[in-house]
Amino acid sequence: MHPANILYLGVKELRSLARDPMMLFLVAYTFTVAVYTAATAMPETLNRAPIAIVDEDRSPLSNRIVGAFLPPSFITPKLITAAEMDARMDAGIDTFAIDIPPNFQRDMLAGRQPVIQLNVDATRMSQAFTGSGYVQQIVIGEVNAFAQGYRSIPTLPVDLALRARFNPELNKAWFGAVIEVINQVTMLSIILTGAALIREREHGTIEHLLVMPVTPFEIMAGKIWSMALVVLIACTLSLAFVVQGLLAVPIAGPVWLFLIGAAIHLFATTSMGIFLGTVARTMPQFGMLMILVLIPLEMLSGGMTPRESMPELVQTVMLAAPTTHFIMLAQAILYRGAEFSVVWPQILALAAIGTILFSFSLARFRKSISDMA
């Protein structure tokens, strides 16, 4: 192995990337626009939910219920007829539809316990799950206030003091921005290394490398360090200017420790990209493989859903994925301000997984080169 060859081959990859405007656009987009939109587009618990009300009672109590649904949780309720309710739900116009029956106020005051019908479009899961609880609380609160003649504030036997740690504002943009950067590091590192290998095969330059005094290890190492460097620089700039600057997301822990963990993670994911590049023969095939590999890595590694809520089999299997340990490391450092004494197990696991993936990918890369020769 000649370190100079690895350096020159990596510089060659950087020059090749600089001449590819689409790849440069992809790098810039994923760490700027994609991070910003992912953070700001994350829905609140309930925001501007469409609701329609069938008021068959037309009483002061029913008017009170209609007026209780206010922005920003709900849009202004649309008063409709009973015949319109099902059609509007079928068309997806309303997420919630309330039917207040005739004589509702009279039956309530007489103690007959009248029933209000609530229809929910359960296909809109983000709003339907929490929104139905909101609707029930609003209706019950208005009915009780009307029956008592005033709004009472119950005195609870226990005072619960809520302290939200690491995200005191409960701002979902804080979570969305950081987790998007983490996901983009994984995605882009695999794409860049795999695409670099396939691009050389399609352009015929891989044959030029085969007749040069370089080894497969040097070729692969040159691609890995150069593409990892690009992703690491883009990740650093994104954290500084998009996450902390534009979105004003506080970073709790040392960024340098996160970058060290990211560099070790990139060693694993770029090796994975080389392996996928040897399996796929063309860029469309590589794109299909990316879908099969990337979605499980991001969905099952604990970034979107806590690992503790997954089946134990999935938790155990995903320990073999580098993204699982990288997300644990990144969240501990960036969210909770963890130091090296906390995240060293994840760093060690990433180094071990990266070594295994690199060895496996190198064997596959050598075989593919020997087949071409």
pLDDT tens readout for residues 269-300 = 999 999 998 888 888 888 899 888 988 888 88
Dump the DSSP string for 135-168: HHHHHHHHHHHHHHSS------SS-------S-T
Given a contact cutoff of 8 angstroms between Cβ atoms, the answer to whether 132 and 95 are in contact is no
Give yes or no for residue 354 having a pLDDT over 90. Answer: yes
Length of the chain, in residues: 373
d(CA 231, CA 195): 14
Q: What is the pLDDT of residue 328?
A: 93
Q: Given pLDDT bands bounded at 50, 70 and 90, which one contains residue 343?
A: very high
Question: What tens digit of pLDDT does each residue of 234-257 get?
Answer: 999 999 999 999 988 899 889 999
* 366 beta partners: none
Q: Which of 193, 154, 232 is nearest to 13 (CA)?
A: 193
What is the percent of the chain with per-residue pLDDT over 90, rounded to a whole number? 47
d(CA 178, CA 72): 26
CATH code reported for the domain at 51-148 = 3.40.1710.10
Give yes or no for residue 202 having a pLDDT over 80. Answer: no
Q: What is the pLDDT of residue 355?
A: 95
- Mean pLDDT across 14-32: 91
Higher pLDDT, 330 or 73: 330
- Mean pLDDT across 220-234: 93
Higher pLDDT, 311 or 199: 311
Q: Given pLDDT bands bounded at 50, 70 and 90, which one contains residue 173?
A: confident
Q: Pull the structure tokens for residue 87.
A: 């059609």
Q: Which of 168, 186, 137, 140 is nearest to 293 (CA)?
A: 186
- Mean pLDDT across 231-236: 95
Residue 97 three-state SS:
strand
Q: Are strands 78-79 and 96-100 parallel, antiparallel or unpaired?
A: unpaired
Q: Pull the structure tokens for residue 270.
A: 């770029």
- Mean pLDDT across 5-28: 89
Q: What is the pLDDT of residue 298?
A: 86
Residue 174 three-state SS:
helix
Give the HSE-up count for residue 358: Cα atoms under 13 Å, Cβ half-sphere.
Answer: 22
Question: What tens digit of pLDDT does each residue of 53-107 get?
Answer: 999 999 999 999 999 998 888 999 999 999 999 899 888 899 999 999 999 999 9
* ∠ Cα 196 368 361 (to 5°): 70
Give yes or no for residue 204 having a pLDDT over 90. Answer: no
CA torsion sign for 306, 308, 313, 315 is positive
Q: Which of 2, 28, 246, 44 is nearest to 131 (CA)?
A: 44
Q: What is the pLDDT of residue 367?
A: 85
Q: Which segments of the chain belong to CATH 3.40.1710.10?
A: 51-148
Give yes or no for residue 43 having a pLDDT over 70. Answer: no
Q: Which of 22, 28, 38, 9 is nearest to 233 (CA)?
A: 28
Residue 71 per-residue DSSP state: T
Give residue 245's Cα distance to chain centre: 20
